[in-house]
Amino acid sequence: MNEEGWASRLRQDDTAALQEVMDAYTAYLCTVARNMAAPALTAQDVEEIVSEAFVRLWTHRNTLDPALSLKGYLLRVTKNLAVDKLRSEKNACLPLVEEIVACRDEVETALERAEAVARLQRHLAALPRQDRDLLLRFYYYHQRTCDIAKAYGIQHGALRTRLSRLRARLKKELEREDRP
C-alpha cells in the first residue's frame, strides 16, 4: 500500500490506481457506514454511499494533497454522505444524525501527525486485548456504544464509563510532551 503513489497516479488519470484504492478500502468504508447508521441504512444504501465516495475521490483527484491521507479523505466523505442520507430521511433519523455529529473527540497535541500515529500504535499495543478492542471498535470501526455494549454483554452505562477512562488515558498519552 502506497498512498502517495496512488495519489500521484490518480492525478495522471490512472484508473488502475483507483481500482487499487477500492481494493484496499472498500471493505473498511462499508463497515464504517454500516456501523454508523444501521439499521437506518440498507446494504444498498451503503453500497451507494461508498461508491459515491470513490467517485468523489476521482472527481477531485487533481486537487488532492499527496501529503494527506486518501483513507482519511474517503472516511470523511463516507461519513458525510451517510449523514446526508440520514438527513434526507428527515425526522425519522434525526436522533441518529445528532448522535453521529456529536460523536467527535479531539485532543490537542504538539506531535507531528506521523509521530501521533506511531504513539497511538504503541499505546494500543501496550493495552490489554479487550481494551484495545474497545477503542478500535469505537474509533476505528465507528461502532455505536450501544452495539459495543451488546457485543460485550455489559450495560451501556458501564461501557461508556470504561470507554471514557480509556479515552482519558489515550489523550494523556497523545498530549504528553516528549522529554529530552
> Which residues in 3-22 contact other proteins (CB under 8 A)?
15, 18-19, 22
Among 4, 5, 115, 117, binds other proteins (CB under 8 A): 117
Q: Least distance (Å) from other proteins to the CB of residue 137? A: 6
Q: How many CB atoms are closer than 10 A to CB 72?
A: 11
Nearest to other proteins of 114, 180 (CB atom): 114
Task: Please identify which residue in 4, 60, 95, 155 interacts with other proteins, judged by CB under 8 A.
Answer: 60
User: Contact 1/24 with Cβ under 8 angstroms?
Assistant: yes
Any long-range contacts for 68-77 (C-beta under 8 Å, 24+ apart)? 69/3, 70/3, 70/6, 70/7, 70/21, 70/25, 71/3, 71/24, 71/25, 71/28, 74/21, 74/25, 74/29, 75/28, 75/29, 75/32, 77/52, 77/53
Q: Is 136 in the site for other proteins (CB under 8 A)?
A: yes
Residues in CB range of 142: below 8 A, 6 or more apart: 32, 35, 36, 79
141 binds other proteins (CB under 8 A): yes
According to the binding rule CB under 8 A, does residue 116 interact with other proteins? Answer: yes
Contact between 164 and other proteins by CB under 8 A: the answer reads no
Interacting residues with other proteins (CB under 8 A): 15, 18-19, 22, 26-28, 30-31, 34-35, 43, 46-48, 50-52, 54-56, 58-60, 63-65, 68-69, 71-73, 75-77, 80-81, 83-84, 87-88, 94, 98, 101, 103-110, 113, 116-117, 120-121, 124, 133, 135-137, 139-143, 167, 170, 174
